[in-house]
Amino acid sequence: MTVILSAVDFHPAPKTRLQAEGEHGIVVDVAKEGGGIELDGSHFKRHQWQDYSYFSADVYHESHDVLVLVLMFCEPSGRSLSVHYGMLPGVRTRICLPLSALAGGKLFLDRYPGVLQSVVRGDPSVDRSQISAFSISTIASVEGRHFTLSGVQLSHEEPEFSYEFHPYIDELGQWSKKEWHGKTVSPAAMTESLREEWERSQNHPYDRVDKSRYGGWKGICFTATGFFRTELLDGIWWLVDPDGYGLFSAGMDCIQPYDTMRVSGMEHLTPPLPEQDGPFREAWAKGGFSYSVANLIQTFGEAWKDRWAELTEYRLWSWGFNTIGNWSDAAFIGPSSLPYVYPMEGFPETKETIFRDFPDVFSPEYEENAKAFAAGLLPLRDDPRLVGYFMRNEPHWAFVDSLNLTELLIAHSEQLFCKQRLVEWLETKYETVERLNDAWGTSLNSFSHLTQVPFQLPAEEREARKNDYAAFDRLLIRRYVEVPAGYCKEVDPHHLNLGMRYAWVSSEAILEGCEAFDVFSINCYQSSPDKEQIASISKHLSRPVMIGEFHFGAADAGLPACGIRAVATQEARGRAYRYYVEQSAAIPELVGIHYFQYPDQPVLGRFDGENYQIGLVDVCQRPYSELVEQATLAHERMYRVRTGNEIAFDKAPAEVPKTGF
């Protein structure tokens, strides 16, 4: 059985126009502020959501960029969860949502054919039997949106996916449906330009007059220890290089030749690809195909990797970058003269988790896996060029601002070690079960009664119970941090633990245990870092802060999505970068900012579907000159700004609505 929905089942939000197209088609016109359509309760019963397994619809739009389609599910209690889909312009695409995803166990959903990234946002979960509102909408854009929906339905089985061949990119991997200033006109033009630049790079001496061999600034000097460390001087935090010179880390993430495009599910949108065992075999990597590598092979032949590394080293030094950031190519890091950071792999997991990737942190399994995780640092422990290591990136559990780990723990169907630790903690605090019952409004027979599954707590919220949840949440988070951090420091006492690069800090509880880091890291997608928040974090932990990711994209170049922060033009993009860097250099508690990322992402999406115009170079290895010029200027000025000898650039360009997922 299948439920099919049409225009009569929905009503429009403000500034949205809704009309029917045929029997089951829906045409939606949305103002630039965003908006959409909501299911009319008189045409749809709540209980049907739990009776089906899939929601699907065909979507088509012809906008200038990616359409971010948002499916929103709400309960009467106010809990809500949304799923965000990226949809290419000019391509009819079928979205499919497994309704099991509403349990919230995954942040990123598996990709279906033709779809870009699929991301779950909001509360930890919604109960399908309690859904009281459902809407289909899109986010704000630089102009209004017009999109059509057809085949909107609930079903027991996955829909079929069948697409016509519809090449979307050219032979160089560029978006074939759009023209822009700087688009490479032919393979011959690309080859000529790259070969000429590589020739120039061979005769270019790197200017190190005011820089040490590790990139440190000779304008400030401390005692040399042979490894990177941190120092606080006159209220300003510094990274200190192995020779004792101060460093403000201007880093670049993903310095690698690969911009690997996921081929599976996108075959109908790609022109014929070269054989996997032929001259372009190295372009087939990491589960997909890299047009960037194919273009380098076409330009430099079998020597492409060495030529790319030499050219890239020359560029980075010339542009003033002083650190190789996360996820960069090991073959580039090895011979490079730049210091680097290391993203650790295999953060300790447990078979059972409390929520998403938050492990059973009091289990022996977590302890043992933390030891194995830390052992990955052994090959690096004596390398003076290594600034430090990030234990992980953007924990998925921390994407939920309202997350109550202890509440989820009590409701968990398995007998986790963390449950037993909760019982022990409550026994120590309350001593008798009667005192716990008085505080929580419960009627427990014993403390261990809490571990019985399923255990239903009273609906009435008690202040004591709320406070105990918050306190035990902090114990869980502290354990999550301190166990692996402790083992990492045992294995490698020389290098800096640079933290976990949280996506954001939603509460002070996130900072529990972070004194175990040498530097607290956060990814900060804003026009400039929040000075007050960074100062507060640094004061709380007595540690400096590093920004692991930021970026700006623009809608005037060759990708249909411009990322999490966006401006109108490449010229504005350059000014946005300069503003961010110089404003950051003026923050005493910051010791570095790393840009995400060196190459543009592929038009048809990387492994998870992101396809952002955020790189310093495009798929043809052509630098975005406006960004490079402003980056070079910002890096040349940043130490004078940091020491108060010059005022930070204060002309932030106007931003435009993002097309990030």
Q: What is the mean pLDDT of residues 193-199?
A: 96
CB count, 10 Å around CB of 341?
Answer: 28
**Please, which pLDDT band fits residue 457 given cuts at 50, 70 and 90?**
confident
Q: Which domains does the chain have, with CATH numbers?
A: 3-155 (2.60.120.430), 206-243 (no CATH)
Looking at the predicted structure, is the pLDDT value of residue 46 above 60?
Answer: no
CB atoms within 10 A of CB 469: 18
The percent of residues in the chain predicted with pLDDT above 70, rounded, is 98
In angstroms, the CA 67 to CA 243 distance is 50
Q: Using the predicted structure, report yes or no on whether residue 45 has a pLDDT greater than 70.
A: no
pLDDT at position 408 over 80: yes
Q: What distance in Å separates the CA atoms of residue 140 and residue 61, rounded to the nearest whole number?
A: 15
Return the exposure string of 70-100: e unless at least 16 CB atoms fall within 10 Å of the residue's CB, then b: bbbbbbeeebebbbbbbbbbebbbbbbbebe
Structural contact between residues 230 and 246, judged by C-beta atoms closer than 8 angstroms: no
Q: State the average pLDDT over residues 567-580.
A: 97
- Does the pTM surpass 0.75? The reply is yes
Q: Which residues, including other chains, have CB under 8 Å from residue 458's CB and lie 6 or more apart?
A: 440, 441, 442
**Peptide bond preceding 597 in cis form (omega within 30 of 0):** yes
Q: What's the CA gap between 642 and 299, in Å, rounded?
A: 41
pLDDT one-digit tens code per residue, 221-231: 999 999 999 99
pLDDT band at 44 (very low <50, low <70, confident <90, very high): low
Amino acid 42: pLDDT:
63
Q: Using one digit for the tens of pLDDT, what is the confidence trace for 284-315?
A: 987 899 999 999 999 999 999 999 999 999 99
Residue among 371, 359, 467 at smallest CA distance from 421: 359
- For 393-412, give the DSSP string: S--GGGG-TT--HHHHHHH-
Give residue-wise pLDDT tens across range 223-266: 999 999 999 999 999 999 999 999 999 999 999 999 999 999 99
Q: Is 190 strand, coil or helix?
A: helix
Residue range 523-538: average pLDDT?
Answer: 97
Q: What is the rounded average pLDDT of the residues 437-464? A: 88
Instruction: Find all residues with CB under 8 Å of 297, minimum gap 6, and list them.
Output: 279, 280, 282, 283, 304
- Residue type at position 313: E
pLDDT in tens, 586-643: 999 999 999 999 999 999 999 999 999 999 999 999 999 999 999 999 999 999 999 9
To 5 degrees, how large is the angle CA 296–CA 300–CA 305?
Answer: 65
Mean pLDDT (the chain) is 95
Strand order across the beta sheet in which 261-262 lies = 261-262, 288-289, 284-285
**Mean pLDDT calculated for residue range 47-57:** 89
Q: Categorize the per-residue pLDDT at 47 as very low, low, confident or very high, splitting at 50, 70 and 90.
A: low
- Res. 461 pLDDT band, cuts 50 70 90: confident
Residue with tokens 């571990």: 451
The Cα-based distances of 344 to 242, 355, 391, 509 in angstroms read 22, 22, 5, 24
Cβ atoms within 10 A of the Cβ of 162, count? 8
Q: How confident is the model at residue 37 (pLDDT cuts 50, 70, 90)?
A: very high
Q: Which phi and psi (to 5°) does residue 55 adopt? A: -115, 135
